[in-house]
Amino acid sequence: MNFDVRSANLEAVNSLTKYPSIPTYHQLGERGRLTEVVGEFSGPVIGTEKIDGSNARIVSLPDGSWLLGSREELLCAKGDLIGNPAQGIVAALREFADGLAPVADCVRVHYVELFGGKITAGSKQYTGHQAVGYRMFDMVVIEDYEELLGRPVAELAAWREAGNQPFLPEEELLAAAARDGLDVTPRLFTVDAAELPRDLEKTSAFLAEHLPRTRSALDEAGGGKPEGIVLRTPTRSMIAKARFEDYDRTLRRKR
């Protein structure tokens, strides 16, 4: 089919390009407490900073158009005079989207974390002057979009949450960011999976050792407290998040 955003099923496009849920490194149990069950990694594991902001996406479509969205909904299309002002995503990303090279025969999605300003309660950790920034943390390039967009939306959601979106591996992700002039979320370390801690207290100490202060500060007046670390394999076949708050809360209750 010849894709045309004006006649496309935007509900399907939205579902196809949403960012999936990411599990916690230690499995969540009752009342938000972490259990002793950990995600099983193998081989090299990359640690990146998890920024406390708003998940946003720039969706480039094969007809040369683009869409901007939050994690849950689409907010603006190329050529719109007015966009949904939610979380400041359109204001922050419209100019960047306009400057991107168009795609052909695929759907490409830049996933970025928009942070600072008054976006979240944690914004003050990155800025004391309400500065706003964004960093890319993932990208998909979907070549079989025609077949996928013909599926029911519920089926697309299940496909997405089962981990079927074709995310770029690390080297390609970094190359795409450099090509498009984007900063990525800070890369903190690469370790062998056998070096990852498995109990709660050691993981809490591991986080503090590798990220004592945010590396994503927008100015020197921010508080500097980081949110956490994302663990991922180079191919992104396995990914998990570890937040300081989850470990602090769990260990406090455990004691």
> How confident is the model over 22-76, as pLDDT tens digits?
999 999 998 889 999 999 999 999 999 999 999 999 999 999 999 999 999 999 9
Q: Is the pLDDT assigned to residue 1 strictly greater than 70?
A: no
CB 23 within 8 A of CB 241: yes
Spatial CB neighbours of 144, under 8 Å, sequence gap ≥ 6: none
Averaged confidence pLDDT in the chain:
96
Residue 241 pLDDT exceeds 90:
yes
Distance in angstroms (rounded) separating the CA atoms of residues 170 and 138: 9
Mean pLDDT, rounded, for 227-252: 97
User: Alpha-carbon Rg of the chain, whole angstroms?
Assistant: 19
- Residue at token pair 């094969």: 62
Q: What is the pTM of this model?
A: 0.96
